[in-house]
Amino acid sequence: MSVENIKKIGVIGAGQMGRGIAHVSALAGYDVHLLDSNADALAVALDTIKSYMDRQVEKGKAEQADVDAALPRISIGSEMSAFSDADLVIEAATEDEEVKKAILQDLCPVLKPEAIIASNTSSISITRLAAKTDRPGQFVGMHFMNPVPAMELVEMIRGIATNEETFKTVSALAVKMGKTPVPAEDFPAFIVNRMLMPMINEAVYTLYEGVGTVAAIDNAMRMGAHHPMGPLQLADFIGLDTCLAVMNVLHDGLADSKYRPCPLLVKYVEAGWLGKKTGKGFYDYSGDEPVPTR
């Protein structure tokens, strides 16, 4: 399948990544079906997409006519059967390998033979995920960055069985979405998270060991390294559960103690303090301004 043959895109998962992928897909001119088992999540996703598109118009980053055309292209639902005519389905569910494998096994029977599957996993082996499908040659990693509408990069990961046509087609699709595809090998966490997550984990260790407070650590990296956002605030935006999942993949996959997740990160996740999406993480987001929780 060539990129010209892609007309309808399916997206599985209405969280911050899934709705962002649906957003850029619709704005690029594709019909999009966004699937989630949670009806409330789907409603929130549509509202969020509209609000973000409106902000893009206000900032001159999108034309009103393009937004008016894009929003009706997005449909929502909870049945896999809606993907029967999809040309590409992007899995953007939670960063849990068993959950993803179960979704893929439910998805494959409804797809037409030529349909491509992409996973937005940020760390899990594309080869292992592809092996759970009926089309490993038509399976590829397509790791968007968060927030999807604003970030230019898409990591393109080829599994051992991914065929060249699939890789080229989905890379070309990323360009049509206004992104820059960068190829990455199928090793734990790929490129960005292989470097970014250990830095975040080390920032949590710095907090855990009392070297600095949340505010001190984040201010130090913003002002001392000119990072636009401190590592602990960034972890909150990513989701602490996702950070922990990636560190576990690194630790398990590379068998190196330097990737051991910080016990404090584990504790926050156990408490349900997952960051901005739950209202509390390294910062409390219940007020007008985020307040450090430590």
Give me the mean pLDDT over the 84-95 stretch.
96
Give CA–CA dist 199/219, Å, rounded.
Answer: 15
CA-CA-CA-CA torsion sign (17, 19, 24, 26): positive
- The 10s digit of each residue's pLDDT in 35-59 is 999 999 999 999 999 999 999 999 9
- What is the overall mean pLDDT for the chain? 96
Residue 2: predicted pLDDT? 87
Crossing angle, helix 263-270 and helix 240-254, to 10 degrees? 130
Q: Based on the residue annotation, tell me whether 143 is a catalytic residue of this protein.
A: yes
125, 171, 193, 201: the catalytic one is 193
- The 10s digit of each residue's pLDDT in 113-155 is 999 999 999 999 999 999 999 999 999 999 999 999 999 999 9
Rg of the chain over all Cα atoms, to the nearest angstrom: 19
Do 127 and 161 contact (CB within 8 A), yes or no? yes
25, 33, 155, 201: the catalytic one is 155
Which residues are CB-neighbours of 211 under 8 A, at least 6 positions away?
Answer: 217
Give CA–CA dist 293/211, Å, rounded.
Answer: 16
122, 123, 125, 201: the catalytic one is 122
- 1 pLDDT higher than 90: no
What are 250's two structure tokens?
């690194």
Runs of H (alpha helix) within 108-163: 126-130
- 227 pLDDT higher than 90: yes
C-alpha angle with apex 54: 176 to 48, nearest 5 degrees? 85
Do 117 and 159 contact (CB within 8 A), yes or no? no
- What does 84-100 look like in DSSP terms, one character per residue? TT-SEEEE---S-HHHH
227 CB neighbour count, 10 Å cutoff? 15
- The 10s digit of each residue's pLDDT in 5-39 is 999 999 999 999 999 999 999 999 999 999 999 99
Q: Based on the residue annotation, tell me whether 164 is a catalytic residue of this protein.
A: no
Q: Based on the residue annotation, tell me whether 95 is a catalytic residue of this protein.
A: no
- Of 152, 27, 161, 23, the closest CA to residue 92 belongs to 23
Do 90 and 118 contact (CB within 8 A), yes or no? yes
Provide the pLDDT confidence category of residue 237 given band limits of 50, 70 and 90: very high
Give CA–CA dist 167/159, Å, rounded.
Answer: 10
- The number of residues in the chain equals 294
33, 120, 143, 201: the catalytic one is 143
Residue with the two structure tokens 């949670």: 38
Give me the mean pLDDT over the 64-81 stretch.
97
Do 204 and 262 contact (CB within 8 A), yes or no? yes
